[in-house]
């Protein structure tokens, strides 16, 4: 039986959904703390450079594969008569599971923080008390898992609703709201007394901070943030009609994603200094700093609740994109959408348990110096995603060739942009990614 393929309802719908996948915890939770750990402004510049050369090219390349094949991330390579390259899709699905597992844990924290904010849990608390609240919450063996479970259920529900009713609608309404509240937060963060040191840290580069590890972190962050290297954008591109210019679409998505990350940095890093915290404290940064900022602003309870609610929703529009490629693949194989969604969601949740416990009772188990959650993040973002991106570049640059160029512009003809894109995919992206991986791992 032939399955009719659902398509996006509009061009804006696709861009919002792709941006919804891109914008998430990676921008608001991860970007500020990684920037904090890697020296601030110099890291920011490096990150921007990577996003607007390699990142955006791989983004367009994935959309091209998806639309040309109108198939999920694995079947697409068979449709394009190059079945050997399906490895890209298989690796991607593996990476998606790994990411979804720990992503659900952090998203669970945001749900809990929405409730804490709404009930005034931080009223009158100082920096140290806010920190203690956070640490005792994440180190609890049970409660974070309940919230992770709730988040995974929500993810499954949206994926079950299908692409137009679920994914597309969620993106269109909620993204703009998140944007506005981030601007308000950035303004408040930067005007707190003592914030100047943070602004300097974030905007005045010190290039001596950059080494192989920093570059690897920046590349991993670029791939993570743009949702690349794991078949997500292939899958989303496959729900597109033939009329879009994919070059433009990838610009919009990269631009929105980067703007949100920069704004999140402005909202969080200056405030870190104002509250007297250390910018290099890792994953806890957002959850400790922001409640302190909300405490210092009028209407803080209201804005704090709204912020964590929107962050949860931004995480949701990303997590559905992690689940969708798996579901799309097995759906095409003839399994029911419901069954695949339920099974994959539960598996991802179970895989998330060690990540959650690594914040408390299993905190002493280290692998190569990293706790379980950090290890999952490192393996997926810093290794699997860049390797996926490298293969996508080689595939579209060398194997698809002219076909890719036509697909990219929807027949609008050749241009300098097109030439640059192919050049990056053929030479720059594969060489740079390989060099960064080798250098970072050694």
Residues that bind ligand PFF (CB under 6 A): 21-22, 24-27, 96, 99, 224-225, 227, 230, 232, 318, 321-322
Minimum Å gap between C-beta 233 and ligand PFF is 8
HEC profile of 107-167: HHHHHHHHHHHHCCCCCCCCHHHHHHHHHHHHCCCCHHHHHHHHHHHHHHHHHHCCHHHHH
Minimum Å gap between C-beta 77 and ligand PFF is 18
- Which residue's CB is nearer to ligand PFF, number 75 or number 221? 221
- Which residue's CB is nearer to ligand PFF, number 109 or number 122? 109
- Which residue's CB is nearer to ligand PFF, number 106 or number 418? 106
- Which residue's CB is nearer to ligand PFF, number 40 or number 388? 388
Minimum Å gap between C-beta 148 and ligand PFF is 16
End-to-end CA distance of the chain: 51
Structure tokens at 374: 């950090």
Minimum Å gap between C-beta 394 and ligand PFF is 19
Nearest CA to 110 out of 365, 378, 362, 318 is that of: 318
Minimum Å gap between C-beta 401 and ligand PFF is 26
- Which residue's CB is nearer to ligand PFF, number 24 or number 171? 24
Q: Torsion angle of alpha carbons 84, 5, 55, 402, nearest 10°?
A: 60
Minimum Å gap between C-beta 59 and ligand PFF is 11
- Which residue's CB is nearer to ligand PFF, number 17 or number 394? 17
Per 3-state DSSP, the chain is made up of helix, strand and coil in percentages (nearest 5) of 80, 0, 20
Q: Which residue is nearest to ligand PFF (CB)?
A: 26
Strand partners, 367: 370
Give the chain's count of helices (H) and strands (E): 22, 0
Neighbouring C-beta atoms of residue 180, cutoff 10 Å: 11
Minimum Å gap between C-beta 422 and ligand PFF is 24
- Which residue's CB is nearer to ligand PFF, number 133 or number 318? 318
Rounded distance between C-alpha atoms, residue 167 and residue 13, angstroms: 9
């Amino acid at each position: 039986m032939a399955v009719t393929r659902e398509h996006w309802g509009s061009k804006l719908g696709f861009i919002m959904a792709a941006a919804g996948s891109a914008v998430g915890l990676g921008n608001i939770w991860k970007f500020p703390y990684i920037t904090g750990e890697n020296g601030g402004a110099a890291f920011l510049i490096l990150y921007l450079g990577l996003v607007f050369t390699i990142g955006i090219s791989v983004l367009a390349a994935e959309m091209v594969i998806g639309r040309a094949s109108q198939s999920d991330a694995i079947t697409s390579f068979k449709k394009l008569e190059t079945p050997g390259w399906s490895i890209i899709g298989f690796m991607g699905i593996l990476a998606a599971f790994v990411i979804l597992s720990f992503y659900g844990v952090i998203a669970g924290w945001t749900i809990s923080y929405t409730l804490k904010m709404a009930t005034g849990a931080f009223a009158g608390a100082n920096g140290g008390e806010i920190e203690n609240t956070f640490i005792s919450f994440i180190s609890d063996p049970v409660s974070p898992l309940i919230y992770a479970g709730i988040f995974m259920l929500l993810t499954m529900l949206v994926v079950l609703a299908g692409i137009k009713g679920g994914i597309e609608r969620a993106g269109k309404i909620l993204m703009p709201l998140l944007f506005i509240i981030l601007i308000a937060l950035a303004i408040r963060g930067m005007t707190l007394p003592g914030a100047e040191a943070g602004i300097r840290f974030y905007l005045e580069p010190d290039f001596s901070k950059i080494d192989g590890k920093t570059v690897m972190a920046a590349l991993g962050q670029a791939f993570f943030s743009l949702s690349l290297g794991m078949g997500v954008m292939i899958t989303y591109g496959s729900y597109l009609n033939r009329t879009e210019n994919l070059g433009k679409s990838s610009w919009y998505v990269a631009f929105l994603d980067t703007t949100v990350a920069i704004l999140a940095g402005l909202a969080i890093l200056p405030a870190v200094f104002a509250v007297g915290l250390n910018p290099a404290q890792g994953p806890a940064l957002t959850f400790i700093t922001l409640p302190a900022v909300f405490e210092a602003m009028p209407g803080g309870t209201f804005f704090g609740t709204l912020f964590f609610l929107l962050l949860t929703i931004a995480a949701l529009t990303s997590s559905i994109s992690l689940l969708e490629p798996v579901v799309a693949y097995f759906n095409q194989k003839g399994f029911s959408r419901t069954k695949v969604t339920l099974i994959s969601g539960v598996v991802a949740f179970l895989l998330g348990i060690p990540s959650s416990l690594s914040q408390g009772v299993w905190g002493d188990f280290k692998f190569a110096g990293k706790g379980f959650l950090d290890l999952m993040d490192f393996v997926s973002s810093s290794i699997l995603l860049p390797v996926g991106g490298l293969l996508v570049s080689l595939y579209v640059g060398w194997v698809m060739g002219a076909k890719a160029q036509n697909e990219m512009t929807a027949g609008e003809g050749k241009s300098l942009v097109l030439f640059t894109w192919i050049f990056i995919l053929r030479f720059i992206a594969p060489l740079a990614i390989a060099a960064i991986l080798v250098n970072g791992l050694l």
